Amino acid sequence: MKTILAAYSGVAKGTGSSILSALQDVPAALWPCRSKMEKHLQVISVLQWVISFMALGAACTVLLFYMFLTDCWLIAAIYTAWLIFDWNTPKQGGRRSSWVRSWTVWTYFRDYFPIRLIKTHNLSPSRNYIFGYHPHGILCFGAFCNFGTEATGFSKKFPGIKPSLATLAGNFRLPVLRDYLMSGVVIVVGGAAESLNCAPGSNSVTLKNRKGFIKLALQKGSDLVPVYSFGENDAYKQVIFEEGTWWRSVQKRLQKLLGFAPCVFHGCGLIFGDSWGFVPYCKPITTIVGEPITVPKIEDPTEDMVDVYHSMYIRGPGPPTGHTFSPAVRCWSSARLEAPPLALISSGRTFCPVHIMKEEL
């Protein structure tokens, strides 16, 4: 207290002292240690994203309807008019904000897991690209952090490339949440169906019948870039119901009705790490941007042409070498990292074990 009073006295006398410098002189015992403070900030940054993603849109929708019944109806009416006027902005690339992408909160978000982005090839700014992100996970932490923010330095690693993270169209219909998301074309290929199969320690992707992004790439002449996040599935633990069970059928019906899969998952607690909660586990997420596949521009591609590039995307260019290739395997190989002895990759419902030999990396 004497130190603070002395600082106040110094400011009054014009000595240039500040309260901030005075607080730095207070004994360290009165403050949490720096590492604990940073950990708390990391948890808060991740939790705000989880809550925003899961509840912000619904809460703001209810609030908007409620405001119409109060004296604040004029504010609700003005926002609704703006919502109608701005309805198609998400289809046109959104409203990119470099300021929002560079918020300090995203560095704490990155360091919580932590998340890192690995570049394996240069991407020419003169070309357009469609990044195919795998796997979906529960909440796509890697996709958001790497491509929706500048926390991992995307713009520095890929100068001239401006990513836009694609998500469910319904998310852009919810008030406030839509503006939050648009401030961030990366397509999470597996989508809601893939999230139903994500589990810690496994890498499975829903890709066998996902050909829409291939057709889009051909129509626009955009090169395909496989992106794989190792550790994305480790953020949460999920209860996976077997095919044919009643619970599984309910999930699939709700997925078709709502557009997203209602997963039963949990993370760790906010206070006690060994309890259950919505805070994701601190598991490293390594996102690897693989080698681009050159795609010609064909305004009306045939089904056979789509199949050719779909097969090339899954197995990689060049002749087969005896291994079943996938975006995950090729990303590992391009990054020259030591891969696990067995990667479990799924093309649709068929799981194919892929052995990665160390000498081939």
Q: What is the pLDDT of residues 270-314, one digit of tens each?
A: 877 677 888 999 999 999 998 899 999 999 999 999 999 998 888
Residue 68 banded pLDDT, cuts 50, 70, 90 = very high
CB 227 within 8 A of CB 288: yes
Residue ranges of domains in the chain: 2-31, 36-360
Residue 74 banded pLDDT, cuts 50, 70, 90 = very high
CB 201 within 8 A of CB 144: no
Q: Residue 190: what pLDDT?
A: 59
Instruction: Look at 82-96, 155-169, 237-251 and tell me which has the smallest mean pLDDT.
Output: 82-96
The most confident of 10-14, 264-268, 351-355, by mean pLDDT:
264-268
* pLDDT mean over 12-41: 59
Q: Residue 184: what pLDDT?
A: 45
Nearest to 62 by CA among 175, 158, 138, 212: 175
Six token digits for residue 158: 């890929």
Per-residue pLDDT tens over the stretch 171-204: 666 777 777 666 545 556 656 666 777 778 777 7
Q: Residue 18: what pLDDT?
A: 52
* pLDDT mean over 322-334: 52
Pairing mode, strands 265-268 and 237-238: antiparallel
Q: Residue 188: what pLDDT?
A: 66
Q: Which helix (H) or strand (E) holds 186?
A: strand 186-188
Residue 154 banded pLDDT, cuts 50, 70, 90 = very high
Q: Flag whether pLDDT at 344 surpasses 60.
A: no
Q: Where are the alpha helices (DSSP H) in the chain?
A: 2-12, 19-24, 34-51, 57-67, 73-85, 98-101, 105-112, 141-147, 154-157, 177-182, 191-195, 212-220, 246-258, 303-315, 327-335
Instruction: Look at 21-25, 140-144, 153-157 and tell me which has the smallest mean pLDDT.
Output: 21-25
Q: Which of the two residues, 333 and 171, has the higher pLDDT score?
A: 171
116 CB-near residues (< 8 Å, 6+ apart): 152, 284, 285, 286, 287
Q: Residue 100: what pLDDT?
A: 85
What CA–CA distance (Å, rounded) separates 343 from 356?
8
Q: Residue 12: what pLDDT?
A: 43
Q: Residue 27: what pLDDT?
A: 52
Placement of tokens 């648009």 in the chain: 182
To the nearest whole percent, how much of the chain has pLDDT over 70? Answer: 69
Q: Residue 123: what pLDDT?
A: 92
Q: Flag whether pLDDT at 1 surpasses 50.
A: no
What's the mean per-residue pLDDT of the chain?
76
Q: Residue 148: what pLDDT?
A: 86
Give CA separation, 353 vs 21, 313, 337, 345, 358, in Å: 59, 18, 19, 6, 16
Q: Flag whether pLDDT at 98 surpasses 80.
A: yes
Q: Flag whether pLDDT at 325 surpasses 60.
A: no
